[in-house]
Structure 1
Amino acid sequence: MFGTINRISCILILLPIFSVIAQENEDKKRINQAVFNKIEYHFNLQETDSIYALAGKKFTQSLSPQAFQTVMTQQMYPLGQIQSAELVTYEKGQGIYKLNFISTPLQLVLSLDSLNKIETFLFQPYKEPVADKPAAVAPSGNTAANFNRFVDSVALSYSRKNNTYALAIGIVNAGKTSSYYYGETEKDNKRLPDENTLFEIGSISKTFTATLLAYLSETQQLNLDDTITKYLPDSVVGNVDLKRITLKQLANHTSGLPRLPTNINATATDSLNPYKGYTKEHLYTYLKTYKAAIAPDSIYQYSNLGFGILGDILSSIYGKPFNEMIQEIICQPLGLKNTTEHPDTDTQYVAKVYNKKGVETPLWTFNAITAHGSLKSTVPDLLTYAKAHFKMPETDLENALALTRQFTYFNPPDTDIGLAWHMTLIGGELVYRHVGETYGSSSFIAFSPDKKVAVVVLSNAAETVEPTGMAIIRHILSTD
């Protein structure tokens, strides 16, 4: 009897608490929307100073008024006015708004600090919400007995989405290596991915390019602080805006270069394979007339172009194409047999890839700026690559791997940058991570050298696997 009364009392006490929390969340949501309404108004009038005046201390410390003006003027205002907008989600203090422009929709991620000032202000490609499949895709039968329930649950949450197909997960933890495979490598083929299935890894390729850079530095073939014009053709070295950019700045995204060259759309021969038709001639034509909108080393600005230029420079110094460098310097010493730009179709199988709507799309091929995203790989190879970072460095390659992990730049609010690697504290442990996305693939790698933990997640769909990978490594480090 007394137990029943106590349980009822607890329920009566908790109900008002939950009601207060829900009301507080609703109030914060309304404030977030009110700030967004101001942003939309000032955006359409191109009143940059008025938007910046809404920013909080953390935001203004990370981005100066001049840099913010440049970003808005060069990248955002050319899109035209916001025709309409809607709140898509509001969770954990963060609102995501769909912005409809005449050309293409974007989404704005907006969060506020304790004073209701802008803390996060991030424009991204709009991601259409995807419905779940009615039933989960079954995992591989020969490994099902070893599945960790948590890994299984987050993997199935991803696999249930209607636009996903194959999912491959690899984990190194407590001295053990585990692999998990879901779905199908091609629509309706009922074939599970396995340890020999290659996936596009997109921008994870940048960490390999950074390793090449570090290796040539370790072997004294270059200096990280060399200006890039030291290694570029005579036709472009006269551009004073290029003379201020260093090799290190290409590798940590502080060169000021845009994400992509402005002439890439005009040279694209296939809209679904955007880099295929972009040649060195196109690249050097762009670099001849490049005008810096952002000064080098002033802000972090992610640049595929920067890594494409870096790869071209490294190939010029080493005297061999990018893929040959990858094989000789990294893959052969580490025993990576399935990591390559050009898979052998007779002996290697690459999973077909699918866009955000679940429709098959071509694998990307590259011409001039290959080094930013051209590699394909497998779960076992990427786990081996991650484990190489666990070792105390002895060889030139191991010293190069360690050099890529050294701090080079702080990217607020909570991420440091090495050479390509993004560094974050998770559960008090320093974690190095990178993601990759193409029109039809998504990839994730993260590792903690101190804890000797690594997580790799690969998919043949353009549905990001980053939340899946982050959930797994957070779970491991929080329960270690």
Structure 2
Amino acid sequence: MLLALAAVLAAPPLLAADLQSEVDAAIEPLMREHGIAGMAVAVYDNGQAHYFNYGWASKRDKVAVTRDTLFEVGSVSKTFTATLVAMASVEGKLDLDAPASQYQPALAGSAIGSATVRELGAYSGDCLPLQFPDTVQTPEQTLAFFQHWQRRSERGSQRCYSNPSLGLFGDLAGRAQQQPFAQVMTENVLPRLGLQHTWLEVPANDRGLYAQGYDADNKPVRVGPGPYAEQAYGIKTSASDLLHFVQLQLQPAPRDAAVRQAIAITQGGYFEVGAMTQGLGWERYPYPVSLENLLVGNSAAMIREPQATRPITPALPAEPAAWYNKTGATNGFGAYVAFVPARQVGIVILANRNYPNEARVRAAYRILSSMEQ
């Protein structure tokens, strides 16, 4: 596979060469092993951004990946949704501890209607499924699904990673502001985060930057519509924009107090799940963290199986000495984001093919660990 030359910006020559060597050593074998057409890697280290680009955004058109190539990031979108919800909370438009039925009255009297906004954002309002059933497609069917939901667990006793749970979490924040979720995200949240090439719906002017995804059979594919797709897995963004989002996690924007406070809320600790603490969108681990704990925390079992959990009361504040991360995937893309505030480092890894979380975590851990030397 032809690899585009890695581009490294704003770094001293020796550091740039050393870091490029480490990233190449982690990424090039990974691409060969998993048949990935193109990848973008961005690293932030103590005030400096470094960009590394590999392969093709489109194999057919021979378009090379750049720092501005748009990738689907799947469930990394959940961290954006959590930021939107937290901003609504900071600005007094939503109460994280209010029941869902307060913002969606049609859920009054239902089992899920008593779950709080915060519990839904931490996948602990009940053991909702990973995905909606195939029969649920329309807004009316989505509402009926929740209205007829039969409780499976006591609130706050189990963590069940769930697009319906996170989707309802975001939907409630839109309703609290009397606007569609997509409008709040597009017109308010993304601009205030300073993200100029991050989209729910890629506009015509940016479609030339939108990478082509490839499924398990190497067929071209892109994400399609679905219930709560915007809230759960709808973001398309670039390595440069996503690294900017990481920088905000490390050094929140001082000019927008609501953004700063919202980021702190998303990084808080709300439920304990083994070595992992569940935030809103983000998952965190005490730092230093072992690779083994990260692999367990990002394993298929953590996505597909219930985990016993307990609420943390009072909630833990954002923790500088923590490894924060989030994986994301669609049928044709795979993403991973991680950062450590105490070290002022972070990494973004984007690919136009879905591939195992283990490989993403190992690559990120290797690259960030090499920067400690």
TM-score normalised by the chain length of structure 1: 0.65
User: Higher relative contact order by CA 8 Å / sep ≥ 6: 1 or 2?
Assistant: 2
Superposition CA RMSD, Å: 2.2
Instruction: Name the aligned partner's letter for residue 364 of structure 1.
Output: G
1:316 positional shift: 1.1
Aligned to 2:295: none
Q: How does 1:178-217 map to 2 (within 5 A)?
A: 178-217=50-89
1:418-446 CA-to-partner distances (Å, cap 9, x unmatched) read 11210023435411110101111101111
Instruction: Name the aligned partner's letter for residue 346 of structure 2.
Output: A
Q: How does 1:324-343 map to 2 (within 5 A)?
A: 324-343=183-202
Instruction: Flag the 1:360–1:369 CA change in 2: closer, same or farther, 3 A.
Output: closer
1:370 positional shift: 2.5
Instruction: Name the aligned partner's letter for residue 140 of structure 1.
Output: L
Aligned to 1:381: 241
Gaps of 5+ in 1: 1-135, 268-277
Is the counterpart of residue 265 in structure 1 residue 265 in structure 2?
A: no
1:456 positional shift: 0.2
Instruction: Name the aligned partner's letter for residue 5 of structure 2.
Output: S
Instruction: Flag the 1:214–1:470 CA change in 2: closer, same or farther, 3 A.
Output: farther
Instruction: Name the aligned partner's letter for residue 451 of structure 1.
Output: R
Instruction: Flag the 1:383–1:261 CA change in 2: closer, same or farther, 3 A.
Output: closer
Among 296, 306, 311, the residue aligned to 2:165: 306
CA distance in 1 between partners of 2:371 and 2:220 (Å): 39
Aligned to 2:23: 151
Identity %: 24
Instruction: Flag the 1:194–1:162 CA change in 2: closer, same or farther, 3 A.
Output: same
Among 273, 286, 291, the residue aligned to 1:425: 286
Aligned to 2:4: 139
Judge conservation of contact 1:305–1:369 (CA < 8 Å) in 2: no
Among 97, 109, 116, the residue aligned to 1:238: 109
1:340 positional shift: 0.9
Judge conservation of contact 1:435–1:466 (CA < 8 Å) in 2: no
TM-score normalised by the chain length of structure 2: 0.82
Kindly tell me the number of residue pairs found equivalent between the two proteins. Answer: 331
Instruction: Name the aligned partner's letter for residue 382 of structure 1.
Output: L
1:479 positional shift: 4.6
Instruction: Flag the 1:368–1:155 CA change in 2: closer, same or farther, 3 A.
Output: closer
Judge conservation of contact 2:40–2:52 (CA < 8 Å) in 1: yes
1:308-342 CA-to-partner distances (Å, cap 9, x unmatched) read 11122111112222232123433212321111100
1:467 positional shift: 2.7
Instruction: Flag the 1:230–1:383 CA change in 2: closer, same or farther, 3 A.
Output: same
Instruction: Name the aligned partner's letter for residue 148 of structure 1.
Output: Q
CA distance in 2 between partners of 1:261 and 1:167 (Å): 27
1:48-88 CA-to-partner distances (Å, cap 9, x unmatched) read xxxxxxxxxxxxxxxxxxxxxxxxxxxxxxxxxxxxxxxxx
CA distance in 2 between partners of 1:456 and 1:469 (Å): 11
The structure whose Rg is larger is: 1
Instruction: Flag the 1:299–1:424 CA change in 2: closer, same or farther, 3 A.
Output: same
The answer to which of 363-372 and 295-304 deviates more is 363-372
The answer to which of 204-213 and 385-394 deviates more is 385-394
CA distance in 1 between partners of 2:362 and 2:175 (Å): 37
